[in-house]
Amino acid sequence: MNIGIDRLSFYSSHYYLDLKTLAEARSVEADKYYIGIGQEKMAIPAPDEDVVTLAASAAYPLMKEGELENVELLLFATESGIDQSKAAGIYVHSLLEMSPRCRTVELKQACYSATAGIQLAVGFVARNPDKKALVIASDIARYELGSPGEATQGCGAVAILISADPRLVSIEPECGYYTEDVMDFWRPNYRSEALVDGKYSTTVYIHALLESWKQYAELSGRGLGDFDRFCYHIPFTKMAEKAHRKLCRKCKTDVGDEQMQTLLGESLLYSRITGNCYSGSMYVGLCSLLDNAEEDLAGKRIGLYSYGSGCVGEFFSGVVQPGYRDFVYADQHRNLLANRTELTYQQYEDIFNYGVPTDGGEYVFPQYKTGPFRFSGISQHKREYESLVD
Ligand code: CAA
């Protein structure tokens, strides 16, 4: 049975900081960000957005089109959790008015957990071919002000509908996966910003890629030449390109700049102007590819590499389905990204330093530009959300 990604919708915040502005504030050359790490803008969440509103906004187009009716599994992948007990997906389930007959849980393993979610969802659909599963990856990437990771912040969410006979990408059964106990990036419960050993994290990312690929290649019998495009986890776009060069070198395959552009370029467009969104990052890349590929990708194989620090890596693959262009949300994604508001450095720092009140009092939050849902206040330690749609 063909099982895979039936719909794919991306959402990011309405505010961004241009990395030229950050470069000026940090007295570094803008080219370090624009060229060195391959990032131009980072999406900044408004104070009345969080991983719940980002996630619900990503899935809203599916709700509007009645695509959520048969969903009986909701997997919420995040490393920016808002509660140690309650799954953030339950708030999303409520905002999206989904059926109570639904299993809802939150998954965590740094930037990797959405991929675990997708593989679990594929198993669920194999057993229940008339049902669907919704995997949502939603994150806000935060590093300390002035730290090397700062320029790689961002935020966003991706809603991924998994079904039988998918209209976008069928997922192939072979996968290579790799776990190793390392401390390259982590966030203890008492911190709101990640701790990272930046250079080390880039080497672990690549090591896990080569190990995952080795298994995938053995199981599938495929080589790099069997792929038409690649989507990598994108903490910053240069990382994806470096990883692909390393993989090519390992496979003794040459890759020139032009070929690199063909294989990866269209998958990097959205991340370059939104930044890292951790668990959703590779799927933002897939969205960017399906929305923007000049060539009709029907029947083409995509290699997918998902990486979560700590660490788990997985290499798997998918085949693009005929007619997929009729089912992507390309116009919506482009409109969202083209109509954002640029922040000044001071506005960015004020938003960064804003913290959700923790004293159990009653708070109503001012309204900023958001998607169809907002984080409207907090009362007795309970988060309150508001739907802005009828
Ligand atoms: N013009 C052009 N290029 C320039 C430049 C200029 N003026 N100035 C510097 N550069 C280049 C450098 O030569 C370097 O290129 P190479 O990597 O090809 O050598 C690049 O810009 C970056 O410069 P630095 O290495 O000096 O940057 P840094 O040390 O300040 O920060 C980083 C880099 C450590 C990766 C940092 O961005 C970071 O900590 N990021 C967060 C961690 C991360 O994203 N890790 C990725 C793997 S882990 C993962 O993927 C999980 C996840 O999502 C977090």
**pLDDT at residue number 132:** 98
Residue 100 pLDDT greater than 80, yes or no: yes
Lookup: tokens for 343: 């922040």
Distance from residue 64's CA to the centre of ligand 1 (Å): 40
Q: Is the peptide bond before 248 cis (omega within 30 degrees of 0)?
A: no
Residue nearest ligand 1's atom 9 by CA: 32
User: Which range of residues forms the domain containing residue 324?
Assistant: 3-387
**Using CA atoms in the order 384, 61, 341, 273, what is the torsion angle rounded to 10 degrees?**
120
| CA–CA separation, 95 and 200 (whole Å) | 40
pLDDT digits (tens, 9 = 90+) for 353-385: 999 999 999 999 999 999 999 999 999 999 999
Residue nearest atom 44 of ligand 1, based on CA coordinates: 235
Digit-coded pLDDT (tens) for 59-97: 999 999 999 999 999 999 999 999 999 999 999 999 999
The total number of structural domains in the chain stands at: 1
Question: What's the mean per-residue pLDDT of the chain?
Answer: 97
Q: What is the pLDDT of residues 104-118, one digit of tens each?
A: 999 999 999 999 999
Q: What is the pLDDT of residues 184-211, one digit of tens each?
A: 999 999 999 999 999 999 999 999 999 9
| Candidate of 152, 199, 205, 309 to mutate for ligand 1, largest count of ligand atoms within 8 Å of Cβ | 152
Q: List pLDDT tens digits, range 218-227.
A: 999 999 999 9
What average pLDDT score do residues 302-320 get?
98
> In the prediction, which pLDDT does 384 show?
98
The model's pLDDT over 8-56, given as tens digits with 9 standing for 90+, comes to 999 999 999 999 999 999 999 999 999 999 999 999 999 999 999 999 9
Chain segment 231-288, per-residue pLDDT in tens = 999 999 999 999 999 999 999 999 999 999 999 999 999 999 999 999 999 999 999 9
Q: Ligand 1 centre from 37 Cα, in Å? A: 5
Q: Is the pLDDT of residue 324 over 90?
A: yes
List the CATH number of the domain containing 91: 3.40.47.10
The answer to whether residue 79 is catalytic is: yes
User: Is the Cα dihedral 292, 294, 297, 303 positive or negative?
Assistant: negative
Cα–Cα dist 103/11, whole Å: 23
Is 300:313 a contact under the CB 8 Å cutoff?
A: no
Residue having the nearest C-alpha atom to atom 27 of ligand 1:
148
- What lies within 8 Å, CB to CB, of 177 at 6+ separation is 212, 215, 312, 313, 314, 315
* This prediction's pTM: 0.98
What confidence tier does 390 reach under pLDDT thresholds 50, 70, 90? Answer: confident
Q: Is 381 a known active-site residue?
A: no
Distance, CA 26 to ligand 1 centroid (Å)?
Answer: 15
> What per-residue confidence (pLDDT) applies to 253?
95
Q: Which of 14, 233, 244, 333 is catalytic?
A: 233
Substitution site in 193, 201, 233, 237 for ligand 1 pocket (most atoms within 8 Å of beta carbon): 201
Say how many Å lie between the CA of residue 36 and the centre of ligand 1.
7
State both tokens at 300: 């083409």
pLDDT tens digits, one per residue of 141-176: 999 999 999 999 999 999 999 999 999 999 999 999
Reply yes or no on whether 287 is catalytic: no
Gyration radius of the chain's alpha carbons: 20
Quote the strand ranges of the chain, DSSP E: 3-11, 15-18, 41-44, 71-77, 103-107, 132-141, 154-164, 169-171, 176-179, 185-186, 195-196, 229-232, 301-308, 312-320, 341-342, 362-364, 373-379, 382-387
Give the residue, by CA position, lying nearest to ligand 1 atom 34.
198
